[in-house]
Structure 1
């Protein structure tokens, strides 16, 4: 094994993964810098979700390596990977997946409560994030009383409340209307930048990918290394360095 570059908070090499014999990832390699917002673009079925699941330790690649801050995620035990996801990672999916019996602030505070944070401190942190995401007025409401965009903002607050090192966002705005998509995405990226949180954002919407610092494209489980794709990624990398 070769340790990743020092400036990459996440690094993957030659990832391969198949679902029931159907290839989802085929030799994918990439690095993600600390504080970067990286968009993973590509059509449905291109392997975006599988890539995020491998990077976040939800799946162990059948071949290849995943490193987080120089620690090999792919060789960790299930217990260590679960602890990593709980303590250092946040996850936002296309569905809010809120607990219906809990209020908004309780849903947002759930990751803190699960790791033993005192109730008062967890509530305070959850309320602060709900305010930052413009849903503070919904703190005492349960999910059924919220609009879909509000539910998704609560899910974003839940992912950010622990101030993780990395947030993985898998099509986080897919079910929302255009205006709501823009608002939720803007609040996510603004909060991430203000707290130096790295974001890996999977999307099939090229317009959404424009909020990222850099975009990589997957086609049939492989990195798209076409001249157009490489040129676009290079321009984004240059814009970060000036």
Structure 2
């Protein structure tokens, strides 16, 4: 079992996974270079979320390999995978899950507070990211007092604050109107470029996919392009038709 090439931050080999006997991924392979923004695209139910969960160690595939650098993610223990997600990965869900008892800035600062960063520095970093996402005026409110777009911006700040090596974004703008969507995407892409964050973005929206460096299309749990050719050329067409 050999590690992937040095220029790949993340690589999947021949992933297979099923939910209750129903195939969710079938022989999916891909590589993501460090600092690359990769869009995994396809209609709802195509396997995008399952792929992101396997790549991030939240789900262990039934068959196949997932590598993060030289680390074989699929062989790690649950505790090791949890530590990897906490220390190296960021995650954004379609519907933000915030801690209701915490304020906006505390929710945003949570990754830093959990790793033991000084309270003052964690708060300053949280306010900086909240400012970038135009949510800083609500820093002392609690999630129940926010609109859904404001909660999503808070979740985005939380995902970025620790500057993860890899950020997994599962339909992060699916529920947002155009202006809020543009703000979140602009912040994500700016952070990826300035901090060399590898981004794996799942989307069914061709306009969102077009912002990525490269796209991988899925349909019924399978890649619908030719993986070797697409990766060699550095760009695969994202077709969302069914």
Change (3 A) 1:119 1:95: same
Alpha-carbon distance in structure 2 between the residues aligned to 1:114 and 1:40: 30
> Which runs of 5 or more structure 1 residues have no equivalent in the other structure?
238-242
> Which runs of 5 or more structure 2 residues have no equivalent in the other structure?
237-242
What is the CA distance between 1:226 and its match in structure 2? 6.0
Q: TM-score, with normalisation over the residues of structure 2? A: 0.92
Q: Does 1:234 align with 2:237?
A: no
Counterpart in the other structure of 2:61 = 61
Q: TM-score, with normalisation over the residues of structure 1? A: 0.92
Q: Residues 1-242 of structure 1: matches in 2 within 5 Å?
A: 1-225=1-225, 234=233, 236=235
Question: What is the aligned-residue RMSD (CA, Å)?
Answer: 1.8
Kindly indicate whether the alpha-carbon contact (under 8 Å) linking 1:36 and 1:199 is maintained by their aligned counterparts in 2.
Answer: yes
Alpha-carbon distance in structure 2 between the residues aligned to 1:188 and 1:152: 12
What is the CA distance between 1:135 and its match in structure 2? 1.7
Alpha-carbon distance in structure 2 between the residues aligned to 1:191 and 1:10: 19
Alpha-carbon distance in structure 1 between the residues aligned to 2:231 and 2:8: 20
Paired residue secondary structure (1:74): helix
Change (3 A) 1:32 1:122: same
What is the CA distance between 1:134 and its match in structure 2? 2.1
Aligned residue-pair number: 235
Alpha-carbon distance in structure 2 between the residues aligned to 1:12 and 1:30: 5
